[in-house]
Amino acid sequence: MESMMSTTSNAPPRLGNLLIRRGYVTVEQLEQALAYQKLRGQGKLLGEILVELDFCSEDHVIECLATEYGVPHARLEARLYDPKVVDLLPREYIEKHGIFPLFKIRGVLSVALSELSNLFLIEEIKTQTGLQVQIVAASTKDIRRMISQLPDSRVFVIDDIIEDNNETEVTLIEDAIEDIGDVEEIAGQSPVIRLVNYVVYNAVKEGASDIHIEPAERCMRVRYRIDGKLHKSLEVPIHLLNAVSSRIKIMAGLDISERRLPQDGRVNVMLDSRKIDLRVSTFPGNRGEKTVIRVLDTKKVTLVLKNLGFAEDILTRLSSNVHAPNGIVLVTGPTGSGKSTTLYAALNEIATMENNICTVEDPIEYHLPLINQFQVQERVGLTFSVALRTLLRQDPDVIMVGEIRDEETGRTAIQAALTGHLVLSTLHTNNALSAVTRLVNMGVEPYLIGAALNMVLAQRLVRRICPKCSESYEPDRNLRRALDRMGFEVDSFRRGVGCRACRNTGYSGRIGVHELLTISDELRDAIVNGASLAEMRKIAQHNNSLIGMQLDGYRKVKEGITTVEEVIHATGDIVY
């Protein structure tokens, strides 16, 4: 993207005019992008900002740049290149410069570029090949995709890895731990790199949220967490474990000599033309180190509230509260229940040039335009509470705190809400009302909670029925009667029978089920007076300020989105 956008540096206004004439952006969008570039662009170029703000696509920018430079523009496809021509340039050179040789006709080599103004690169290609060069404009996304599809780019054979890493070589890591050079050499051997690359690539392709690399009794086992459940991916000989662990540590910048203490790190990789963020955690066990990698794939994440599976009544109340001028909005649930995604989507909905939105996070999971994001650094004393106090001097309109973990952070967040700011944050509680008692247990006074709290959203994730193998069925009579007694009338029940697309699980993807609590005046008085959880629930149900998670779950069962079993697992058992 950056190389593609560098071509705009000599004539941004002409690029803008071309985009407007072709209807790709409006005058207002161009003016907003130019204002953003001036105020917060941080050296970014116009085309990059237009794409970042989602005003137009990278292909639109490249198309207009091709017109500006008088070169052809192409959307790259597999049939557009000659495999023999690709070999005219080294693979490393192609990847380094982000180019792609397409075909050769009468001594003229056509090469796809995104950096059209780089005359030095064009001359270098002529020198390398000894041919005349015809430039074809293409997006960096298309070029990277074409490179990734070249033969053997991510293909490996397990037998080759075992053959190239015999037991005596890998045992060297255990026998000579102090010799860091030996460890790095073995961990950097090509078969080990290919194995790690395959594990990560396959996890992204399968839509996994986590990768578990763990020692078993006689093998190293790799499992993927897909749609909330762990699935075995592959098993390789146990003597590869230390080399694989060391390779991952090198990628994450961790200490490969330290095998007695847990370590945490992160890796950014490019895969299929997009950035994948990997969070690495290692933990020593009795058979060796277990490594867990959290996969944060921006392509999978939908940061639009209306696309996150909210029921209409819940979405209406949630949207109203995130547009409030002040107060606290809390999202609660266990780890991995989608709290951060909901908050990011809420921030996206209210992000404008007129708002100063600031976040304090640990870690920053996704980078958002028009939002100032700050990373907690506890090693140097920049905790949530310290960062939050500092942000209050940065003239914020909206503040997002990644998590309220202690009394000081909770108290500071409430003071911010009481002084005219909208504060969004998360808590780890089982339901919406428990957020009140959790804050009280932290040491925050009930009268502060009652005055500042606007809304609490509790959520879980349930698996969606696979659309390719979905079928209707008749459930057990007792189950239907139990649902009828609870007031949940379901006309038709659906389930997935299992197919290749869903790995024979019957489920594909996940959706949220939600419980929403809005704080009415009567409920505020109850919180201030120290009411019990049961009393608060009774008040909330009486004045219709609580929409239950079980209700939302069974509405999704009725719509054929998920199954009764998934809702029971997420919200609790049915009383027969």
**3-class state of residue 243 by DSSP:** helix
Q: Does residue 96 lie in a domain region?
A: no
User: Do 275 and 333 sit in the same domain of this protein?
Assistant: no
pLDDT given at position 154: 36
pLDDT given at position 274: 66
Q: Does residue 328 lie in a domain region?
A: yes
Structural domains counted in the chain = 3
CATH number, domain with residue 348: 3.40.50.300
Residue 421 scores a pLDDT above 90: yes
Q: Does residue 114 lie in a domain region?
A: no
User: Do 392 and 527 sit in the same domain of this protein?
Assistant: yes
Q: Does residue 124 lie in a domain region?
A: no
Q: How far apart are CA 549 and CA 546, in angstroms?
A: 9
User: Do 321 and 278 sit in the same domain of this protein?
Assistant: no
Q: Does residue 381 lie in a domain region?
A: yes
Q: Does residue 115 lie in a domain region?
A: no
DSSP per-residue string spanning 467-525: TTSEEEE---HHHHHHHHHTT---S-EEEE---GGGTTSSEEEEEEEEEEEE--HHHHH
Nearest residue to 188 via CA among 133, 124, 256, 134: 256
Residue 195 scores a pLDDT above 90: no
Q: How far apart are CA 37 and CA 370, in angstroms?
A: 11
pLDDT given at position 183: 42
pLDDT given at position 4: 41
User: Do 285 and 397 sit in the same domain of this protein?
Assistant: no
User: Do 456 and 534 sit in the same domain of this protein?
Assistant: yes
Q: Does residue 396 lie in a domain region?
A: yes
User: Do 346 and 452 sit in the same domain of this protein?
Assistant: yes
Nearest residue to 263 via CA among 241, 238, 243, 245: 245
Q: In terms of residue numbers, what domain contains 289?
A: 191-297
Residue 177 scores a pLDDT above 70: no
User: Do 272 and 341 sit in the same domain of this protein?
Assistant: no
User: Do 316 and 290 sit in the same domain of this protein?
Assistant: no
What pLDDT, in 10s, does the model give residues 504-516? 899 999 999 999 9
What pLDDT, in 10s, does the model give residues 355-399? 999 999 988 888 888 899 998 888 788 888 888 999 989 999 999
pLDDT given at position 576: 41
Q: Does residue 266 lie in a domain region?
A: yes
pLDDT given at position 34: 85
Q: For residue 113, what are the contacts with CB-CB under 8 A and spacing of at least 6?
A: 98, 99, 121, 122, 135, 136, 137, 138, 143
pLDDT given at position 269: 77
Question: Model's pTM, two decimal places?
Answer: 0.66
